[in-house]
Amino acid sequence: MTDPRTYTVHRALDGATDAATLHAMATQRPDLRQFVAANPNTPTDVLAWLGQLGDPAVDAALRRRAPVEVSAPMGTGYDPYANPYAATPQPNPYGVDHNPYATTTTTTTTSSDGKRVGLIVALVGAGILAILVVAFIVVWNLVGGIARTGIEFDSNTSLEEGYDYGDNPVLDAMWDDCAEGDGAACDDLYLNSRFGTRYEEFGNSCGGRFDPDTVWCDSVM
Which pTM does this prediction carry? 0.34
Percent of the chain surpassing pLDDT 90 = 53
Q: Is the pLDDT of residue 131 over 80?
A: yes
Q: Among candidates 149, 184, 179, which has minimal Cα distance to 165?
A: 179
Q: Looking at per-residue confidence, does 2 or 146 come out higher?
A: 2
d(CA 123, CA 181): 55
Residue 145 pLDDT > 70: no
Of 58, 105, 110, nearest in space to 84 by CA: 58
**Ranges of each domain in the chain:** 1-90, 143-221
CA distance 137 to 88: 84
pLDDT over 80 at 154, yes or no: no
Please enumerate in sequence order all residues whose Cβ is within 8 A of that of 174, keeping only pairs 6 or more positions apart, or say none. 185, 186, 188, 189, 192, 199, 203
Query: CA angle 177-182-183, nearest 5°?
Result: 125
pLDDT, tens only, 3-29: 889 999 999 999 999 999 999 999 999
For residue 205, give the amino acid letter: S
In the chain, the amino acid numbered 57 is A
| Neighbouring residues of 83: CB distance < 8 A, sequence distance ≥ 6 | 51, 59, 62, 63
- Residue 133, CA distances (Å) to 10, 124, 128, 140 in order: 99, 14, 9, 11
- Check pLDDT > 80 for residue 165: yes
Q: Is 203 left (phi over 0), alpha (psi -120 to 50) or beta?
A: alpha
CA 178/CA 186 separation, integer angstroms:
5
Across the chain, mean pLDDT equals: 78
More confident residue, 124 or 148: 124
DSSP state of 86: S
Whole-angstrom Cα Rg for the chain:
54
Gap between the Cα atoms of 190 and 159, Å rounded: 10
